A and B are shown apart, each in its own frame.
Chain A
Amino acid sequence: MHRLAPADRPLALLILALAVIALLVLVGPVLIVLLTSFTTSQALRFPPPGLTLRWYAELFDPVRSAQIHKAAGNSLLVAFCTAVLSTAMATGAALAIARSRAGWARLAEGAFLAPLVLPGIAFGLAALMFFSWLRQPPSFALLVMGHAMIAAPFALRTVGASAAGLDPALLESSASLGASPWRTFRRVVLPLIMPGVASGGFLAFISSLDNVPVSLFLSSAETDMLPIRLWGMMETSLDVRVAAASGVLVAVAFLLLLLMDRAVGLVRRMAG
């Protein structure tokens, strides 16, 4: 689009205008949360009467926010395990579906997406009923599996979108050149679907980190989860640390994104 013909300009301008609106819609609410997190008021308030870093100090205070730290640790660990587990399983399934034109693949894809559309509260309730019936009280493993069920469809759909474009001829030529399936996967397939795997893993991680309904039923006193704790702080006292927690997450994601960029670049170089 470097050499725009005059006739193309209105369309290009329209696309640009909509893209700018999209950026505004995406960023606006987050800016409000970030600004609020610096408020000098005692409770969440917008616009903030003045700016201070005090709520971040309080959020990092090891005594006053001890429970938040513990819950954040639990949530991060669960989200990490969920992301690894669900992305690995989903990548396998996505490749299988992309490879096959048989009817079962279409059916399987629909079935794999089902957890996405069952309200979390109903799944949490049903899972607790079922595992209590098996005499399995809520545990860390059960919590991760519960989260993984919700997260896997996100990864599946995202990886699937990348895998759908794989050229079967490429895989066959790799195999006919004598490469083992694992080597074909690592050197040919993975680099091609890496953007899908990375964003799928990220979506799985975030969907677990922000999950309320499944945690409500499958967590226990030992696995106190962050969103549930934040929810209580918000509802009873408009605690500003809730906004500061989001500020921290935005900062961390910013760093992670830079790192991930490097990692994806690295994979590409290795493949090249």
Chain B
Amino acid sequence: MTTLSRRTLMGAALGTLGAAGLPFRAAQAAGSMTAAVYPGGWDEALRAVLAPALKQAHGVDVAFEPLFAVDQIAKARAARGVAPFDVFVLDPGPRVSGMDLKLFEPFDPARLSNRARLPAGYSDEVGAGVAAQVVGIAYNPKKVARPAGWRDLFKPEFAKHLGLTGFGTTFGTISLIEMAKSVGGSEADMEPLFTELRKILSLVPAVAQPAAMPGLFQQGQIDIMYTNTYTVTLLKSRGVDIEFAVPETGAAAFGTTMHIAKGSRNIDAAYQYIDTMISTPVQAALAAPPYSFVPVNTEVKPGADVPMKSIDDLRSFVTHDWTKINPQRPRWIDRFNREMAK
């Protein structure tokens, strides 16, 4: 049996089965597209704000697929060239992975009519920045003093309230790098971090998956965690006792970017989608409660919980070079597993 006939056979078999699944026709018609979106708050926000704006401006219908950044990369990679959706939304770590794995179409920023409203460097040959994230320390003001900075997390009085997460997420990775720097380490030398973590590990009440953090915080298992302003604002608006502390060495910031998937058949709609996302009205609506995104459009002022006046202030924040971080991350993840294991 040749490969071709096997594929044809399997295709025919699946096609017959698929006829039973009429409600699930893929969106292939003109003027429609599929975009990956982070589950939860992002999903709600983009459906409520971006989808109607896109329909009104360009007549394009968008279907959203909720997937975390790493899941988008894994899925696109497993699908090998059969783009599972048209547009990615990613943090810097997965963005660099996507570039290494050649998962993106080349991007032409000139096709964005709102390009001038983005700060310099926010659009390039792979995609465009659509939101920023500011990472620092979150704490429960009713139970612990405000930590002054990353160094404080190693003191017993803070460590016994601290929830740790590993290098699996972008915010986890840059927080641990900043903690390493505060005890004499650097992006090239994480040894001091692990030495200091070993000293406080018996005090730390939780080493957890990021997904468990809000629940652990709400129920008082932990009272300090590292996270972004977006999570703090969202939990605060839901009555959780939580405040954001900007570390003395400065909060860290990174951009959330959108990219067009390699092999996408809706490239025009994808550009229109990204262009609408960075337009002033959409960015303003997303920056307002209950969504509280950090806007990248220079005409839009960030919300009260975001420690900056406009995206231009981003230059004063701590940033990281992910092309240097990514190659080291598998080793850090493995090391973190081993250091944490009882």
B-contacting residues of A (Cβ < 8 Å)?
A: 41-46, 67, 74, 77, 81, 125, 128-129, 132-142, 144-145, 216-217, 219-224, 228-229, 231-239
Determine which of A81, A128, A236 lies in contact with B78 in the assembled complex, contact meaning CB atoms within 8 Å.
A128
Q: How far is the CA of A121 from the CA of B210 in the complex (A)?
A: 18
When distances are taken between beta carbons in the complex, the residues of chain B under 8 Å from A45 are: 218-219, 239
Given A43-B238, A236-B231, A137-B26 contact (CB < 8 Å)? yes
- The 0/1 profile, CB within 8 Å of A marked 1, for residues 180-206 of chain B is 000000000000000000000000000
- Is the CB–CB distance between B78 and A217 below 8 Å? yes
When distances are taken between beta carbons in the complex, the residues of chain A under 8 Å from B42 are: 236
B29 within 8 A of A: no
- Is the CB–CB distance between B18 and A238 below 8 Å? no
A-contacting residues of B (Cβ < 8 Å)?
A: 6-7, 10-11, 14, 17-18, 20-21, 23-27, 34-35, 38-44, 47, 63-67, 71, 74-75, 78-82, 84-85, 210-211, 214-215, 218-219, 231, 234-235, 237-240
- Given A43-B239, A234-B40, 9 other A-B contacts at CB below 8 A? A125-B74, A128-B79, A134-B6, A140-B21, A220-B24, A221-B35, A229-B66, A238-B215, A238-B238
Q: Measured between C-beta atoms, what is the minimum distance from A34 to chain B in Å?
A: 17
Q: Which residue of A lies closest to B25 (CB)?
A: A222
How many residue pairs at the A-B interface have CB separations less than 8 Å?
144
Instruction: List 5 A-B pairs, Cβ < 8 Å.
Output: A128-B75, A140-B23, A144-B21, A237-B40, A238-B235
Determine which of B10, B21, B65, B71 lies in contact with A136 in the assembled complex, contact meaning CB atoms within 8 Å.
B10
- Is the CB–CB distance between B237 and A42 below 8 Å? yes
Q: Which residue of B lies closest to A223 (CB)?
A: B24
Q: Which residue of B lies closest to A142 (CB)?
A: B14
Q: How far is the CA of A139 from the CA of B79 in the complex (A)?
A: 13
Given A46-B219, A129-B80, A140-B20 contact (CB < 8 Å)? yes
- Is the CB–CB distance between A67 and B47 below 8 Å? yes
When distances are taken between beta carbons in the complex, the residues of chain A under 8 Å from B14 are: 136, 139, 141-142
Main secondary structure of the interface of A (DSSP, over half): helix
Q: How far is the CA of A133 from the CA of B34 in the complex (A)?
A: 21
Q: Which residue of B lies closest to A77 (CB)?
A: B23
When distances are taken between beta carbons in the complex, the residues of chain B under 8 Å from A125 are: 74, 78
Q: How far is the CA of A232 from the CA of B47 in the complex (A)?
A: 14
- Is the CB–CB distance between B75 and A41 below 8 Å? no
Given A125-B74, A235-B39, A235-B40, A138-B84 contact (CB < 8 Å)? yes
Q: Measured between C-beta atoms, what is the minimum distance from B233 to chain A in Å?
A: 10
Q: Which residue of B lies closest to A219 (CB)?
A: B65
Q: How far is the CA of A140 from the CA of B63 in the complex (A)?
A: 16
When distances are taken between beta carbons in the complex, the residues of chain A under 8 Å from B64 are: 221, 224
Q: Which residue of A lies closest to B39 (CB)?
A: A232
Given A44-B215, A236-B40, A237-B235, A222-B78 contact (CB < 8 Å)? no
Q: Measured between C-beta atoms, what is the minimum distance from A86 to chain B in Å?
A: 14
- Is the CB–CB distance between B71 and A43 below 8 Å? no
Given A42-B239, A134-B11, A231-B39 contact (CB < 8 Å)? yes
Q: How far is the CA of A43 from the CA of B232 in the complex (A)?
A: 13
Determine which of B10, B11, B235 lies in contact with A43 in the assembled complex, contact meaning CB atoms within 8 Å.
B235
- Most interface-central of A136, A142, A221, A234 (chain B CB within 10 A): A221
Q: Which residue of B lies closest to A139 (CB)?
A: B18
When distances are taken between beta carbons in the complex, the residues of chain A under 8 Å from B40 are: 232-237, 239
- Is the CB–CB distance between A221 and B63 below 8 Å? yes
Q: How far is the CA of A125 from the CA of B70 in the complex (A)?
A: 13
Given A134-B7, A139-B21, A237-B235, A229-B39 contact (CB < 8 Å)? yes
Q: Measured between C-beta atoms, what is the minimum distance from B105 to chain A in Å?
A: 18
Q: How far is the CA of A215 from the CA of B192 in the complex (A)?
A: 40
When distances are taken between beta carbons in the complex, the residues of chain A under 8 Å from B39 are: 228-229, 231-233, 235-236
Q: Measured between C-beta atoms, what is the minimum distance from B133 to chain A in Å?
A: 13
- Is the CB–CB distance between B7 and A235 below 8 Å? no
